[in-house]
Amino acid sequence: MALEIARQKAEDLDNICFVEANAAELSLSADHAFDLVLNMDGAISFSGSQAETVILESCRLARNKLIVTVSHRARLVPIWLESSVEVLGKIAPAVYDMIDNGFWHQERYSENAQLTKGLTQDYLGTIRAFLPEELAGLLRGAGLRVSRCGGLGTLASMCSEKALQRVLEDAGLLDNFLNLCERYDRELVPDGPGTRQRSGLIAVAERQ
């Protein structure tokens, strides 16, 4: 479905090729095959126990630059805690799994299904979340120089819904707001927890 939508949007372009493949096994492409590799969250985070393999495959393909976003463990912990307290009235074991290991396993505990009611047809699958140093360590181990690794969107997640709505109504204000968010992430809290969305951790790296 996603590939079909992508093909439709690019129907007037003749320099784009879409390929369906397993992100954990990309042997169809040679080492260092692409000047720039982007891997934006879903293909990594929802790979569960294969998430590190997916990241390493992305590193292998990058000739010059790699940009990845992944789920941020420091952000998913409070989200699961909030859901656990509201739905179950207690702190579920899955919250501790996220703190200790960075994993969410849908079927590990019987109450997990209750916490994902209404999400992705009531089944969330397995999620792997990372801390900044975990992600940076993988990239360095693959021979890349990491120029940035930290939270993405931390400032926005700390603002009220009313303030964010006002920002979205004014294009000029939005532009200034996004620039400030970028500075906040880079200069004040580079290890911040990021946005409430899954892709709250970004890394930018280059081949040495």
Does pLDDT of 195 surpass 90?
A: no
147-150, long-range: CB within 8 Å, 24+ apart, which pairs?
A: 147/204, 147/205, 147/206, 148/186, 148/190, 148/202, 148/203, 148/204, 149/201, 149/202, 149/203, 149/204, 149/205, 150/185, 150/186, 150/189, 150/190, 150/191, 150/192, 150/201, 150/202
Average of per-residue pLDDT across 102-108: 90
The Cα–Cα gap between 152 and 41 comes to 12
Judging by beta carbons within 10 Å of its beta carbon (0-12, 13-18, 19+), is residue 44 exposed, middle or buried?
buried
Strands 34-40 and 62-72: parallel
Q: Tell me which DSSP letter residue 22 carries.
A: B
Instruction: Find, among 79, 69, 70, 41, the residue nearest to 157 by Cα.
Output: 79
pLDDT value of position 113: 87
Residue 127 · residue 103 · CB < 8 Å:
yes
Q: Which fold has domain 29-152+196-207?
A: Rossmann fold (3.40.50)
Using pLDDT thresholds of 50, 70 and 90, give the confidence band for residue 196.
confident
Strands 126-130 and 62-72: parallel
Does pLDDT of 122 surpass 80?
A: no
Q: What is the CA radius of gyration of the chain?
A: 18
The Cα–Cα gap between 137 and 144 comes to 10
Dump pLDDT digits (tens) for 133-187. 999 999 999 999 999 999 999 999 899 999 999 999 999 999 999 999 999 999 9
Dump pLDDT digits (tens) for 26-73. 999 999 999 999 999 889 999 999 999 999 999 999 999 999 999 999
Strand partners, 201: 70, 151
**H helices present in 19-130, as ranges:** 42-45, 51-61, 73-88, 93-101, 112-115
| Other CB atoms within 10 A of residue 47 CB | 20
Residue 23 · residue 57 · CB < 8 Å:
yes
Using pLDDT thresholds of 50, 70 and 90, give the confidence band for residue 121.
low
Cβ-proximal residues to 3 (8 Å cutoff; 6+ apart), any chain: 18, 20
Strands 126-130 and 103-105: antiparallel
pLDDT value of position 170: 96
User: What predicted TM-score, i.e. pTM, was given to this entire model?
Assistant: 0.88
